[in-house]
């Protein structure tokens, strides 16, 4: 369906003098420090004031969820959809492949069948910063440069690793952690990057902060994020040649009032769709809030939840009316040597493999030639060392998620790093038909993990991505059968038991 | 042969290796003997099944890895004594032990345990190493339990001393191995000594049996030593060099991490049909190598494809009786200014191919 005609921007009276003053102050700062020549057009300035009022915590604007829509969010008519523009089509529900530089991490293109890769890639901004100048010079779009046929969603926030990275954001822009450390990206710089890289969709800059921050900080994040949305809209209006579609992040760091207000404001803005960053939501019990938020967004626009933490959260996100999720958590599982084995069609907890007396103990597995391997088992197979990461972040103040948040309930994944699997020459999952399961065994992957071979995360990515696509197919069937809610409850039970 | 140290070649799946046309890979006995250990590989039904590879596998004896990885390795008549790098306990690798591990791995070609000393070692110790390697070949042959399915190669030692090489050749050839390796080279010796030693060995090794030159894999060496009569090589070179961002091409190597490639939209080699060259530009690889491990995997795939093509071109030109032409074309592409290393010129002229 085509994007509906926009309703006129809502006019909100200026009532809060303090915030308006503060906005003015920050504005001056922005003009004097970085881009002296970059003056904000009058029109934007006035909008900015409006927004700062909207999110004023003292202003009691209660926004009620749309109860009728809320009850229909997990139905076929809401979830199973086609979102079309002149340039691309998105089919929901779907999982967007999380990539680095447009490549599914660890997996070369020849192994990326559609069952692994899908047809939409999330590209985190940090992974392409070093090629923007080249793209500009060669006049190539990002898709042409990285040779992908997938539609690209450029996301300035890295949903895969949202650890305290946002502590450095400020009024001028967002901090992005790429090769060589932190880089501040201003709104103007980011929009230039969009113009050069020509993604099908882009998320505007967002000041992502966790739900644990105080109201003042949360308020500030709303102000900045909405400001950046406004600038992105102005940019698209002023650059008719740019066909990239805008996804607006919904700020509010899990605070109901702030998120509802932000959503209410954004509902009337000229955007293609919306993004809820999982990192801004509370650890648990966010479903009601998300459902309320989605219920007041226009029905014609897709909602993305980026940064979900496991399979259950994927199902929850769909059940709350989100059309798309991403696969960033799969990378963490794969890097840690974990294979997903939840049977999505028939979710039951797996028997705990370590209780099986048939399997060799650690000592026995390693008695052959060398001493115990326990000391050599990597905490993470690839990527940076913990030390490096620590160093990178030690100056950060706000901590959102630690990697351990990505550990799911034990019995729904095989921890293939464990010596229990050393002598198991079976598929990861009996019924799985992925590249890995058709060729390799648990024992071989266990060996690759212990010897820190690059192939370990490759094989695990292939299995885990396939697994996630299966889950989405199950979800589709459940939506069509009207039983998504029941399915979520079953799955929740399985996760709780295990 | 491509080196799969731990039962894998850096990030490349066995399906991809098969698609590339890799006929044989090398597994390191020391590494595989340590992790996962021979009993695990045996339980899996051998290394082929363990890693899902149905083409050939060659395993080394484990001795060389110890010398290169462990400073404390000590050779005695019984075997190689070494200190475990993990818990410091003293361990011993005997010819019998090496055979037991390689039998468990079920490789197609196994290597005898040999007494490895630096090629630059002079005098008594080098002679002793040669003699001991001959004795250890006896012990290996006696301990080898799967003669009908696994081929045990002897390794010719004797350093740079022609007399000792000849003595070793004579003794080992009499033991009728299914194939022989030329060992102890590529360890920092003068190129002049290197090719002359190779030449002595190939002159005397039986023509109908494969000759495997250990530790050699640079493009130039492959061409010269094939001309001298070697059949097989191993080297970490194509995979190791990929790890450092280096692509093998007919003119030598491209250091893709170099800034000069950041805007180069051509493939690594426009005549190469590997996945990497068919899909990606140098500029993209330059960028990706600095960002993600996938860049290394893509480069490894190209480098393996390059080396396979080089070897199959050599083979084809020999069959068509055009090998000398091939050699001349190869060197004039590699050294457009004709600044051929003198050892190359000498080695080739010894077999009747004149470069200049
Ligand atoms: Zn699988
Ligand atoms: Zn190639």
Ligand 2 center–CA B228 separation, angstroms: 28
Ligand found nearest the CA of A340: 1
The phi, psi pair for A100, rounded to 5°, reads -110, 130
With residues binned 3-state (H G I as helix, E B as strand, rest as coil), the percentages for chain A, rounded to 5, are 45, 15, 40
Least confident piece of the model among A357-371, B271-285, B330-344: A357-371
Handedness of CA A7, A8, A9, A10 (dihedral sign): negative
Closest by CA position to A368, among listed B164, B184, B31, B34: B34
| Least confident residue range of A45-59, A452-466, B139-153 | A45-59
Within 8 A of B287 by CB-CB distance, chain A residues are 101, 130-131, 134, 145
Q: A interface mutation test: which of B293, B296, B300 has the most A CBs within 10 A? A: B293
Give residue B28's pLDDT: 84
Neighbours of ion ligand 2 (CB under 5 A): B 272, 274, 276-277, 302, 305
**Whether the predicted pLDDT of A372 surpasses 50:** no
- Of residues B166 and A166, which shows the higher confidence score? B166
Give the distance (Å) from ligand 1 centre to CA of residue B108.
Answer: 30
B190 conformational bin, left if phi > 0, alpha if psi -120 to 50, beta if neither: beta
Model confidence band, residue A121 (pLDDT cutoffs 50, 70, 90): very high
What is chain B's percent helix, strand, coil content, to nearest 5? 45, 15, 40
- Least confident range from A48-57, A254-263, A441-450, B50-59: namely A48-57
Q: Return the number of CB contacts < 8 Å for A and B.
A: 152
Tell me the C-alpha distance between A33 and A26, whole Å.
11
For residue B245, with 0-12 CB atoms within 10 Å meaning exposed, 13-18 middle and 19 or more buried, which class applies?
buried
Phi-psi region of B236 (alpha: psi -120 to 50; beta: other; left: phi over 0): alpha
| Of B116, B158, B152, nearest in space to B137 by CA | B152
Distance A457 CA to ligand 2 centre (A): 24
Q: How far is the CA of B349 from the centre of ligand 2 (A)?
A: 32
pLDDT of residue B269: 97
What's the whole-number average pLDDT of chain A? 80
Q: What's residue B141's pLDDT?
A: 98
**Contact (CB, 8 A) for A130 and A179:** yes
Asked if the Cβ–Cβ distance from B283 to A134 is below 8 Å, we say yes
Query: ipTM for the complex?
Result: 0.94
Cα–Cα distance between B284 and B280 in angstroms, integer?
6
Percent of chain B with pLDDT over 90: 75
Does residue A102 or residue A177 have the better pLDDT?
Answer: A102
Average the pLDDT over B6-21 and give the result. 82
Q: Which residues pair with A173 in a beta bridge?
A: A170, A186
Whether A31 has a pLDDT exceeding 70, the answer reads no
Q: Which is more confident, B239 or B136?
A: B136
- Distance from the Cα of A353 to chain B's closest Cα (Å) equals 18
Contact B294 A451 (CB under 8 A): no
C-beta atoms of B290 and A179 within 8 A = yes
Distance B270 CA to ligand 2 centre (A): 8
Chain A residue with CA closest to B260: the answer is A134
Q: Is B325 a catalytic residue?
A: no
Q: Are A105 and A331 within 8 A, CB to CB? A: yes
Tokens of A363: 């000592």
Domains and their CATH numbers in chain A: 67-327 (3.20.20.105), 337-497 (no CATH)
A360 pLDDT above the threshold of 50 = no
Q: Are strands A338-340 and A324-326 parallel, antiparallel or unpaired?
A: unpaired
Classify strands B24-27 and B2-4 as parallel, antiparallel or unpaired.
parallel
Measure the CA–CA gap between A303 and A323, rounded to whole angstroms: 5
Residue A57: what pLDDT?
A: 52
- Per-residue pLDDT tens over the stretch A308-320: 999 999 999 999 9
| Confidence label for A163 from pLDDT (cuts 50, 70 and 90) | low
Element (H, E) at B248: strand B246-249
Average pLDDT rounded to a whole number, residues B103-108: 94
A226-259 exposure pattern, b = at least 16 Cβ within 10 A, e = fewer: bbbbbbbbbbbeeeeebebbbbbbbbbbbbebbb
> What average pLDDT does the segment A239-253 reach?
95
Contact across the interface for B86 and A371, Cβ inside 8 Å: yes
Q: State both tokens at B183.
A: 């060992």
Q: Angle at Cα B123 formed by Cα B122 and Cα B127, nearest 5°?
A: 110
- Answer yes or no: B60 catalytic: yes
Q: Rounded mean pLDDT of A99-103?
A: 92
pLDDT at B16 over 50: yes
Question: Which tokens is B218 given?
Answer: 């640079």
Give the mean model confidence (pLDDT) for residues B75-88: 81
Q: Which of A420, A417, A464 is nearest to A445 (CA)?
A: A417
pLDDT of residue B260: 96
Work out the pLDDT band at B88, boundaries 50, 70, 90: confident
Q: Which of B19, B42, B54, B60 is catalytic?
A: B60
Helix (H, G, I), strand (E, B) or coil at A459: helix
**Chain B: residue nearest A111 by CA?**
B16
Q: E strands within B94-150? A: 109-111
A27: buried, middle or exposed (CB in 10 Å: 19+, 13-18, 0-12)?
Answer: middle
Among the residue ranges A140-144, A470-474, A490-494, B160-164, the one predicted with the least confidence is A490-494
Supply the DSSP string of A41-93, one letter for each residue.
PHHHHHHHHHHHHHT-TTS-------HHHHTTTTSHHHHSEEEE-SS-EEEES
pTM: 0.87
Residue A59: count other Cβ atoms within 10 Å of its Cβ. 14
A227 vs A5: CA distance, rounded Å: 22
**CB atoms B38 and A106 under 8 Å:** no
Distances (CA, A) of B52 to A365, A434, A441, A445, B239: 20, 15, 9, 12, 20
Asked if residue A204 lies in contact with residue A232, where contact means CB atoms within 8 angstroms, the answer is: yes
The answer to whether residue B8 neighbours chain A at the CB level (below 8 Å) is: yes
């Amino acid at each position: 369906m085509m994007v509906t005609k926009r309703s006129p921007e809502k006019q909100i009276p200026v009532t809060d003098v303090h915030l308006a003053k503060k906005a003015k102050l920050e504005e001056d700062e922005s003009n004097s420090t970085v881009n002296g020549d970059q003056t904000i057009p009058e029109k934007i300035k006035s909008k900015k004031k409006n927004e700062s009022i909207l999110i004023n915590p003292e202003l009691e604007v209660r926004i009620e969820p749309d109860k009728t829509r809320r009850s229909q969010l997990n139905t076929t008519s809401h979830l199973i959809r086609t979102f079309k523009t002149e340039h691309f089509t998105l089919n929901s529900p779907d999982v967007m492949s999380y990539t680095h530089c447009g490549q599914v991490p660890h997996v070369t293109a020849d192994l990326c069948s559609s069952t692994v890769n899908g047809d939409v890639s999330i590209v985190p901004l940090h992974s392409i910063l070093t090629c923007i100048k080249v793209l500009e010079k060669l006049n190539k779009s990002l898709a042409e440069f990285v040779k992908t046929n997938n539609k690209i969603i450029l996301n300035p926030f890295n949903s895969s690793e949202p650890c305290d990275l946002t502590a450095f954001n400020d009024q001028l822009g967002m901090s992005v952690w790429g090769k060589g450390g932190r880089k501040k990206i201003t709104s103007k710089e980011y929009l230039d990057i969009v113009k050069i890289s020509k993604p099908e969709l882009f998320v505007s800059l967002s000041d992502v902060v966790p739900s644990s921050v105080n109201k003042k900080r949360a308020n500030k994040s709303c102000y900045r994020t909405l400001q950046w949305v406004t600038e992105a809209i102005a940019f698209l209006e002023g650059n008719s040649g740019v066909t990239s579609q805008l996804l607006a992040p919904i700020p509010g760091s899990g605070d109901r009032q702030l998120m509802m207000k932000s959503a209410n404001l954004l509902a009337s803005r000229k955007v293609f769709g919306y993004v809820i960053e999982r990192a801004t939501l509370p650890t648990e019990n966010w479903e009601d809030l998300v459902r309320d938020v989605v219920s007041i967004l226009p029905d014609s626009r897709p909602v993305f939840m980026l940064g979900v933490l496991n399979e259950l959260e994927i199902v929850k996100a769909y059940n709350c009316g989100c059309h798309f999720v991403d696969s960033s958590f799969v990378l963490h599982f794969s890097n840690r040597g974990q294979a997903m084995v939840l049977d999505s069609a028939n979710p039951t907890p797996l028997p705990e493999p370590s209780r099986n007396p048939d399997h060799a103990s650690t000592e026995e597995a390693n008695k052959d030639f060398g001493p115990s391997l326990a000391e050599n088992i990597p905490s993470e197979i690839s990527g940076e060392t913990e030390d490096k990461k620590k160093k990178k972040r030690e100056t950060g103040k706000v901590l959102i998620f630690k990697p351990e948040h990505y550990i799911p309930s034990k019995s729904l994944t095989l921890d293939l790093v464990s010596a229990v699997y050393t002598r198991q020459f079976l598929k990861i999952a009996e019924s799985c038909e992925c590249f890995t399961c058709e060729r390799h065994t648990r024992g071989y992957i266990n060996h690759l993990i212990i010897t820190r071979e690059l192939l370990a995360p490759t094989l695990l990515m292939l299995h885990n991505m396939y697994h996630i696509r299966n889950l989405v197919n199950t979800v589709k069937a459940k939506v069509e059968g009207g039983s998504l809610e029941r399915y979520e409850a079953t799955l929740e039970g399985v996760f709780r038991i295990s | 042969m491509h080196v799969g140290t731990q039962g894998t070649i850096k990030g490349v799946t066995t399906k991809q290796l098969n698609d590339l046309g890799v006929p044989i890979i090398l597994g390191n006995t020391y590494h595989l003997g340590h992790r996962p250990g021979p009993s695990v590989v045996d339980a899996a039904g051998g290394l082929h099944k363990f890693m899902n590879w149905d083409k050939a596998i060659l395993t080394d004896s484990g001795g060389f890895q110890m010398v290169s990885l462990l400073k404390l390795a000590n050779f005695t008549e019984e075997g190689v004594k070494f200190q475990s790098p993990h818990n410091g306990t003293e361990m011993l690798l005997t010819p019998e032990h090496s055979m037991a591990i390689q039998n468990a791995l079920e490789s197609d070609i196994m290597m005898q345990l040999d007494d490895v000393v630096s090629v630059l070692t002079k005098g008594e110790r080098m002679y002793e190493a040669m003699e001991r390697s001959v004795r250890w070949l006896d012990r290996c042959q006696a301990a080898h339990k799967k003669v009908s399915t696994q081929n045990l190669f002897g390794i010719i030692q004797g350093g740079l001393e022609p007399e000792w090489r000849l003595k070793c050749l004579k003794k080992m050839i009499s033991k009728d191995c299914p194939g022989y390796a030329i060992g102890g080279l590529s360890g920092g010796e003068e190129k002049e000594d290197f090719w002359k030693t190779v030449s002595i060995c190939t002159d005397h090794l039986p023509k109908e049996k494969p000759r495997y030159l250990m530790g050699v894999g640079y493009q130039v060496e492959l061409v010269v030593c094939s001309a001298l009569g070697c059949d097989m090589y191993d080297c970490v070179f194509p995979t190791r060099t990929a790890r450092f961002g280096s692509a093998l091409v007919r003119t030598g190597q491209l250091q893709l991490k170099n800034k000069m490639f950041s805007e180069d939209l051509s493939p690594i080699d426009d005549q190469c049909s590997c996945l990497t060259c068919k899909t990606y530009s140098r500029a993209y690889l330059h960028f990706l190598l600095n960002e993600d491990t996938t860049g290394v995997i893509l480069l490894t795939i190209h480098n393996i494809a390059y080396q396979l093509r080089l070897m199959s071109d050599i083979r084809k030109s020999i069959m068509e009786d055009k090998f000398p032409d091939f050699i001349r074309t190869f060197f004039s592409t590699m050294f457009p200014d004709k600044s051929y290393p003198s050892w190359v010129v000498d080695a080739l002229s010894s077999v009747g191919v004149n470069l200049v």
